[in-house]
Structure 1
Amino acid sequence: TEVAALEAQRAVDAGASAGLLYPSHGWLRFGYQKGAPQDRYRVVYEESGLPLILFQYPDVTKATYNLETMLDISAQPGVFAMKNGVRNMRRWDTEIPVIRRERPDLQILSCHDEYLLHTAFDIDGFLVGYGNIAPELLLELLEAGKAQNYVKAKAVHDRLLPVTKAVYHRGSHMEGTVALKHALVERGILEHATVRSPLLPLEPGAEEEIKAAIREAGIKKVVI
């Protein structure tokens, strides 16, 4: 936490206006003591003054916060938003309405690249890697979700589905990071999709599959 606070102060000195505060990664293996996440956010904000985004980790990890912890953190000074990536739609459907009711001023951001449609109706924005691939369509989906226009949202979802499947419906979500680069190459944003260890290249044929999905969705190259 001390290191996180120092990094937050460095970010402030460099001009940052907000920070996404990750859980301590020791919690991934063993979980956290009750009250420890709340203390982490308190210390980082008090020592840096950097406004913070609460980061909810996937339900399959031991670093995921229970509802009580999320409500506590989101009530603390300096916490203005939540990036929720719980990846358990039962929890999403039961916890998000409670958070909305109890913390009406909290901005709720979905980071569910593979569950955009499901989460689009309950949020203030997306904070997703997918936004690098097709920000134009994600803005359309977000606007439809805010308007509670399911027909429009489903149409955008269906258009994106080939890309979603090619990039994010893979064996590991980490493969999506590699696939994302191939999508950015197809859009003309990156020159190549080279990755560094511990990431590995995708299997033969994956690059063409991703490029074909981008074309099928009608997503054009970007003029830079």
Structure 2
Amino acid sequence: MQDINFHSVIPAIAVPFDDNLAIDRDELARFSRWLAGQPGIGALMTNGHTGEVFSLTPLERAEVTRITAEAVRGICPVISSIVCEGIREAVEQARMAKEAGADALDIMPPHHWLRFGFKPEHCLEYFTAIGDATGLPLIVHVYPAWTRASFSSELLAELARLPAVRAFKIGTREMNKYARDLAAIRAADPSKALLTCHDEYLLASMVQDIDGALVGFASLVPGLIHDLLQAVRAGDLARAIEIQGLITPLKDAVYGAGEPTGEAHGRMKAAMARAGIIRSAAVRPPTQGPSDAELRAIEAALEHAGLLPVAA
């Protein structure tokens, strides 16, 4: 098991599909190696929302982790997200991820919590069971404040005190609560890493004393996100604003006014394909690819950021 530098950029990786919408194993391995070799990358994360996890079967999720881990062995560690509905299923998939080569696990809230909510003890038991079953470091995946799966600041502090928990992927998306959450975790255990996952407002979330970034957008612009994090750490606001100025048109073209989910992943894959990062922009239904107008916006944003391939 490799140690993970959480004070870094960690891309939640996209998964290339072939023309039959099967996992393109060779392309996934090639893309993973390329991404792992970019400056400032501390780990790769499989099976996140950017990886279209809800379109993958449990066996496919383990296979994505296995392909990625084998491809980047000796380059960087691999994290796998776990998205399940109950403890028994979560433990089973967590063990599959570990066997496939995962060095840590990102734990999403069970999705029935989104509708019905949960008690704090449900959450603590869920994380404890996965940690005990695998012995792997855990990342708490924090959902937006407006959802019923949102964790209170008090619960985040309790999670920070769990020995298995090493980091927090914070997607609060409500800046007052975001600040309270960061303060609560720091007070409970300052050794736990705080990672922004606010793809759509990176600079605004980075300047609040975070340690790194765990974002799907780093599948597309790893270098720019690394440069932005370095500028923030150096206290160079002018440079950070300049870099964010390159990112913003791409952010607008991919995410629009919304969050990084659904068709946004199709738009990002289209941008990755146009930039020469992956061969195909194919997405699995019901996710759809971008419209002609969206493709034009993506093209313009890539040109603005200097990310279009140079013609031979």
Instruction: Give the RMSD, CA atoms, in angstroms.
Output: 1.6
Structure 1 residue identity aligned to 2:94: A
Structure 2 residue identity aligned to 1:180: M
* Cα contact 1:8–1:50 (8 A) shared by 2: no
The answer to whether 1:102 aligns with 2:188 is yes
Which among 131, 156, 160 is matched to residue 218 of structure 2? 131
User: In the alignment, which residue of structure 2 is the partner of 1:115?
Assistant: 201
Which among 173, 187, 197 is matched to residue 285 of structure 2? 197
User: In the alignment, which residue of structure 2 is the partner of 1:49?
Assistant: 135
* Cα deviation, residue 182, structure 1: 1.1
CA distance in 1, matches of 2:153, 2:258: 29
Q: TM-score scaled by structure 1?
A: 0.93
The answer to whether 1:3 aligns with 2:89 is yes
CA distance in 2, matches of 1:214, 1:170: 18
The answer to whether 1:62 aligns with 2:156 is no
User: In the alignment, which residue of structure 2 is the partner of 1:81?
Assistant: 167
Partner-residue secondary structure (3-state), 1:50 = coil
Q: Deviations over 1:149-192 (max 9, x none)?
A: 22221111112111111111245642211111111011102223
The answer to whether 1:185 aligns with 2:286 is no
Q: TM-score scaled by structure 2?
A: 0.68
* Cα deviation, residue 98, structure 1: 3.0
Partner-residue secondary structure (3-state), 2:167 = strand
Higher relative contact order (CA 8 A, sep 6+): 2
User: In the alignment, which residue of structure 2 is the partner of 1:221?
Assistant: 309
Please list every run of 5 or more consecutive structure 2 residues that lacks an aligned counterpart in the other structure.
1-86
* Cα contact 1:2–1:44 (8 A) shared by 2: no
Which among 277, 290, 295 is matched to residue 207 of structure 1? 295
Partner-residue secondary structure (3-state), 1:35 = helix
Q: Deviations over 1:89-134 (max 9, x none)?
A: 1111232133223321011111101110111122111111110111
Please list every run of 5 or more consecutive structure 1 residues that lacks an aligned counterpart in the other structure.
none
User: In the alignment, which residue of structure 2 is the partner of 1:163?
Assistant: 250
* Cα deviation, residue 7, structure 1: 1.3
Q: Deviations over 1:17-75 (max 9, x none)?
A: 10101111110111112311111000111111121101100112111111111111111
**Which one has a larger percent helix, Structure 1 or Structure 2?**
1
Structure 2 residue identity aligned to 1:45: G
The answer to whether 1:32 aligns with 2:129 is no
CA distance in 1, matches of 2:250, 2:306: 10
Structure 2 residue identity aligned to 1:163: L
CA distance in 2, matches of 1:30, 1:106: 29
Partner-residue secondary structure (3-state), 1:83 = strand
